[in-house]
Amino acid sequence: MAAQTERAVHTPAREGSPWTGMWAVVGKEMADNLTSVRMSILETLTVLTAIGTVYAAAQNLRSGGRDPYLFLRLFTTAREPLPAFVGFLGFLVPLIAIALAFDAINGEFNRRTISRLLSQPIYRDALLLGKFLAGLFTLALVLSTIWLIIIGLGIVTLGVPPSGEEVGRLLWFLLVVIFYGGIWLSVATLFSIVFRQPATAALASIAVWLFFTVFWGMIADLLTQVLAPIRVGYLEEVVRQVRLNLALSRISPNTLYVDAVLALLNPNIRSLGLVLPVQLEGALLGTPLPLDQSVLLIWPHITGLIAATILIFALGYVLFQRREIRA
Amino acid sequence: MDEVVLEARGLTKRYGDFVAVDHLDLTVRQGEVFGLLGPNGAGKTTTILMLLGLTEPTEGTVRVLGFDPVRQPLSVKARVGYLPEQLGFYEGLTARENLIYTAKLNGLRRDEAYRRIDEALEQIGLSHAADQPVSTFSRGMRQRLGLADVLIKKPEIIIMDEPTQGLDPGVAQEFLEIIRNLKAQGITILLSSHLLHQVQAVCDRVGLFHRGRMVLEGTVEELAQQVLGGAYRIHLEAEGPKEALEESLRRLEGVVKVERMDTKAYLVEARRDMRAEVARAVHEAGGALLSLDMELPSLDEVYARYFEQEVNDGSAD
């Protein structure tokens, strides 16, 4: 501790920009990402999923009646036994993100390239952020491609172009999906700093993802029962319990993703929480919300996703700065 | 030639209670080849990392080409090339692609980068393999590629950590030849090694590391003088009166020690080349000289003797 405070006093600032060389890292890592076998596998998987689910949805939709948001249904309509495309994305995106980043830092240590890299005139910041951004851009590129494929397929199979509002909603949807991937990207990057073995880092990332996807819902229910039990049955007690349950379940990025995507792709959703009858006074039930109102509805979700990404990345950043190079 | 390019004063690195480097003072002048010697764990690599700003010193100051590696790491790393002991490349990429990445990290413009890469590959003799993936490279080729990687930034100082370890003798010799060429170009070189005869072959000065301290420093002759007493060892075989012979050799100015090995063989340790005087002394003492041979001081011996003394001193405490 003494050494640290001393350093803080003696060292006013570091020389030069911490981002020197970052774009070189981004370029190299993106090239690696896009040409790697693991990415090809995941891309193929995602494209197949997209085509399969959209085709199934289109079949369903053609038999249905008139719907002002036909294009949005393309993403959300499920045909048993397959889930809808957004459902698939809920686990494909974390998988792609984890695959992109689980060996980001420990891979450099294992290849023994780390000391050669860091002896170039760059800071560690540039390496870490460069790798993260390369992952995010790759993810964005892949998701945008699939997004375009689906819209193209939609125009062909449904025979109508999307409306301006639908395109707007779909663009927001794309953004939410990318930031949902961002969380898992930063989780995997963090584990790639903590664990020396890439396999361990991958497993740990998947374990965290499974925990939030499968178990967190159950744990949230249990915690709610314990923390806000219904003793008498007053309305206040019930409301308190439901609110707590919602708050707890929204710790999981999956819940944030599902809520946000639902509100964006289904304009009829007016609220993501508990709605009391008094709050509905004057509301025109059954009328869809305009886009800006839907975005307002999920604004906390989007900021939550981005904040979590930054927070986890920052934790990894601190750990990486303190890491000794000689391993 | 005399400009100090690398200077450490009171350099210390502690990991918890363990002291890896203990108040180290080091001065390297421009154009020198300086060798860091010492057993594994003596603090050589930690010292190197501190000189490069890759790890922060607990105490002490470092100046590399006038820059402080802690506060101005970019200036230091732009001018100092580092060839690490554990040298790794991106296996799937070709030699050239690996070098392009380094060039970009150094902020070189494309045409400049390509020119320097071609030059560097030419200089270390890897032009023929430039577009092969690194995964096909032998240990020696990797080591040379590592040097090319260092050369594209046109460094003023090159720091090499165990550069010849794991190379077969022929390749190691080639590598030492490259080091001599670099020295001829005026590049200052700091290399760490425990392969002593190689260090002796290329280094102007050496520093002997032991438990985080630099216990000896100087040219190989100076070290031999310090540790072995006599730096020149003259082996001779002579017939004649043994006591008289030994006595007259011992009386010679500059002789440190005379030892009779068997009935005819003697070992004379001297501070300078005294073969002529020794021959005359044998003759004057009435002996017949059968053979005379001088051994140059060897770093191996300095090293072995030093640590032998160290162990003896340690057990005496």
- Say if the Cβ atoms of B88 and A112 lie within 8 Å: yes
In a domain, A7, yes or no: no
- Starting at the edge strand found earlier in the chain, the sheet holding B213-218 runs B80-83, B157-161, B188-193, B33-37, B205-210, B213-218
In a domain, A8, yes or no: no
> Is A14 part of the contact surface with chain B (CB cutoff 8 Å)?
yes
A6 pLDDT exceeds 60?
Answer: no
Q: Would you mind telling me the total number of residues written for chain B in this entry? A: 317
User: From CA A7, how far away is CA A14, in angstroms rounded?
Assistant: 12
**B77·A116 Cβ contact <8 A:** no
Does residue A18 belong to the interface with chain B, where contact is any CB pair within 8 Å? no
Query: How many separate domains does chain A show?
Result: 1
User: What confidence score (pLDDT) does residue A7 get?
Assistant: 44
Q: Do A115 and B82 touch (CB under 8 A)?
A: yes
Instruction: Name the residue with higher pLDDT: A189 or B229.
Output: A189
| A1, part of any domain | no
Contact B227, B305 (CB under 8 A): yes
Do B282 and B245 form a contact (C-beta atoms < 8 A)?
yes
Cis ω before B133 (30° cut-off from 0):
no
Q: Is residue A293, in this structure, part of any structural domain at all?
A: yes
Query: Which of B18, B47, B50, B74 is most worth mutating to test chain A (most A CB atoms within 10 A of its CB)?
Result: B74
- B9/A327 Cα distance (integer angstroms): 26
Residue A51 is assigned to a structural domain of this protein: yes
CATH 3.40.50.300 domain locations along chain B: 4-218
Q: Is A321 on the interface with B (CB under 8 A)?
A: no
With beta carbons under 8 A apart, name residues in chain B contacting A6.
Answer: none
| Residue A12 domain flag | no
- pLDDT, tens digit, 9 for 90 and up, residues B160-177: 999 988 888 888 888 999
CATH of B232-296, one of 3.30.470.30, 3.40.50.2300, 3.30.70.100, 3.40.50.1970: 3.30.70.100
Nearest to A113 among B45, B88, B106 (CB): B88
The pLDDT of residue A66 is above 70: no
Give B57-98 pLDDT, tens digit per residue: 999 999 999 999 999 999 999 999 999 988 999 999 999 999
- Other CB atoms within 10 Å distance of the CB of residue A12: 7
Asked if the structure places residue A285 within a domain, the reply is: yes
Residue of B nearest to A327 (CA): B86
pLDDT tens per residue, range A147-157: 999 999 888 88
Taking the CB of residue B262, how many other CB atoms lie within 10 A of it?
Answer: 7
Contact A42, A89 (CB under 8 A): no
Distance between CA atoms of residues B205 and B196, nearest Å? 12
Q: Which of B117, B180, B183 is nearest to B148 (CA)?
A: B117
Q: Nearest-CA distance from A124 to chain B in Å?
A: 10
Identify the H or E element spanning B197.
helix B196-202
The C-alpha of A230 sits at a distance from chain B's nearest C-alpha, in angstroms, of 53
**What are the chain B neighbours of A115 within 8 Å (beta carbons)?**
54, 82, 84, 86
- Cβ–Cβ < 8 Å for A139, A41: no
Of A169, A116, A237, A132, the closest CA to residue B159 belongs to A116
Q: pLDDT at residue B1 above 60?
A: no
Q: What class is the B4-218 domain?
A: alpha beta
Judge residue A80's burial from the number of C-beta atoms within 10 Å of its C-beta, 0-12 exposed, 13-18 middle, 19 or more buried. exposed
Q: Locate CATH 3.30.70.100 in chain B.
A: 232-296
User: Could you give the CA distance from residue B117 to residue B114 in angstroms, rounded to a whole number?
Assistant: 5
- The Cα of A120 is separated from the nearest Cα of chain B by a number of Å equal to 6
Q: Alpha-carbon distance B159 to B69, whole Å?
A: 14
Angle between helices A253-265 and A291-322 (to 10 degrees): 150
Q: What percent of chain B has pLDDT over 90?
A: 50
| Least confident span in B46-55, B152-161, B275-284 | B275-284
Q: CA-CA distance, A55 to A63, in Å (whole number)?
A: 13
Considering only CA atoms, which of A190, A187, A183, A137 is closest in space to residue A302? Answer: A183
Can you tell me which residue has the tokens 């995941």?
Answer: A42
SS3 content of chain B, % helix, strand, coil (to 5): 40, 30, 30
Give the distance from residue A125's alpha carbon to the nearest chain B alpha carbon, in angstroms: 13
Q: Where are the beta strands (DSSP E) in A29-85?
A: none
- Measure B256 CA to nearest chain A CA, in Å: 45
> pLDDT per residue over A110-159, tens digit each?
999 999 999 999 999 999 999 999 999 999 999 999 999 999 988 888 88
Structural domain of A105: 19-322
